[in-house]
Amino acid sequence: MTWSGMIPVDDTALYTRDTGGPGRPVVYLNGAYADQSHWRRVIAELGDGYRHITYDERARGRSRRSADYSFEGCLRDLDAVLTARGVDRPLLVGWSFGGVVAWHWADRFPERTLGVVCVDAFPVGVTGEEGRARIRRLFRRARFALPITSLIGMGARMSADQHADVNIELNEIAAASVPVLERLTRPVRFVLATGDSMGSGGGEMDAGRATLEPLLARNPLLTVGARVPSNHTGVLRRDSPAVARTVRELAAS
């Protein structure tokens, strides 16, 4: 029977859904400003044989605001959800920001992770003073649209500067993640999209995906489960069958 409700953590509470049942638990980690609704097609593809757990991060979806939107806060949120729902060794499925959260969790807590599916997440980022300034400009230009994007599950209930802070920290952590991926001891399968997304251009996203190639050679636990034609923003909507197939393959292995 599906359970839904608020899970308290720090100064906030996270809206969470858990389908329950005896199936293998799969925990879905959202994009940086996205809510859990984006996983509905993947969940429908996988069906009732799994226990599906989704939640909204702080100030996303139905979750409450917080004074802390840091990456470390996101790791504490995942811990709070797993503990509250009594979940041991789930499969983590993360899209974009959520993929970075997933591989860092698997690095810190391999004994609490069965494996990871990363949907279009890779170890590269826009960094340095120029990169930080570019990110801030992007969100300040979009500041009037942010309340609207939050209503469609693609923005947070944050200020433009708070959105930028999250993005800047994500880029810096992702860019420094090569050693983390090299030493992972849990299996990770990547689903890779094509093309650029909002805020990127000139083939930046494809260049980022290419950084995975040498890592695949150095750590045999890292593999590509699928390459799909949709872009970073549309991958869960347009290529949910490929994501679901990759989850099934990892679960079976």
> Is 184 a member of any domain?
yes
Report the sign of the C-alpha dihedral through residues 47, 7, 82, 62, in that order. Answer: positive
Whether residue 160 is contained in a domain is answered as no
In a domain, 144, yes or no: no
| Helix H or strand E segment including 13 | strand 12-18
pLDDT band at 175 (very low <50, low <70, confident <90, very high): very high
Q: Do the domain assignments include residue 164?
A: no
Q: Is the pLDDT of residue 130 over 80?
A: yes
* β-strand pairing of 91-95 with 24-29: parallel
pLDDT of 197 above 90: no
- Region of 187 on the Ramachandran plot (φ > 0 left; ψ -120 to 50 alpha; else beta): beta
Q: Is the pLDDT assigned to residue 230 strictly greater than 70?
A: yes
The helix or strand, by DSSP H or E, that contains position 37, with its residue range, turns out to be none
Instruction: Calculate mean pLDDT across residues 239-244.
Output: 98
Of 1-10, 95-104, 144-153, 155-164, the poorest mean pLDDT is in: 144-153
Quote the pTM value. 0.95
Q: Are strands 3-9 and 50-55 parallel, antiparallel or unpaired?
A: unpaired
Q: Is residue 69, in this structure, part of any structural domain at all? A: yes
CATH number at residue 100: 3.40.50.1820
pLDDT of residue 15: 98
The DSSP code sequence of 184-202 is --S-EEEEE--S--TT--T
Of 31-35, 135-139, 190-194, 197-201, which gets the smallest average pLDDT?
Answer: 197-201
On average, the pLDDT of the chain sits at 95
Rounded distance between C-alpha atoms, residue 112 and residue 110, angstroms: 5
Confidence band for 160, pLDDT divided at 50, 70 and 90: very high
Task: Tell me which residue of 49, 48, 57, 92 sits closest to 166, measured CA to CA.
Answer: 57
How many distinct structural domains can be found in the chain? 1
Residue range 153-173: average pLDDT? 95
Report, as an integer, the average pLDDT of 135-159.
91
- Average pLDDT of the residues in 21-26: 94
Query: What is the rounded distance in angstroms from the CA atom of residue 165 to the CA atom of residue 146?
Result: 14
Q: Flag whether 155 is in a domain.
A: no
> Which pLDDT band, with edges at 50, 70 and 90, does 150 fall under?
confident
The reported pLDDT for the residue numbered 153 is 86
What is the per-residue pLDDT for 198?
A: 64
Residue 61's domain comprises 3-125+178-252
Inter-residue contact 71 to 101 (CB < 8 Å): yes
Give the pLDDT confidence score for residue 200 in this predicted structure. Answer: 65
Residues 6+ apart with CB under 8 A from 89: 25, 111, 112, 113, 114
Q: How far apart are CA 205 and CA 12, in angstroms?
A: 33
In a domain, 140, yes or no: no
Is 162 part of any domain? no
Residue showing tokens 């995906």? 209
Q: What is the DSSP letter of 231?
A: -
Whole-number pLDDT of residue 203: 77
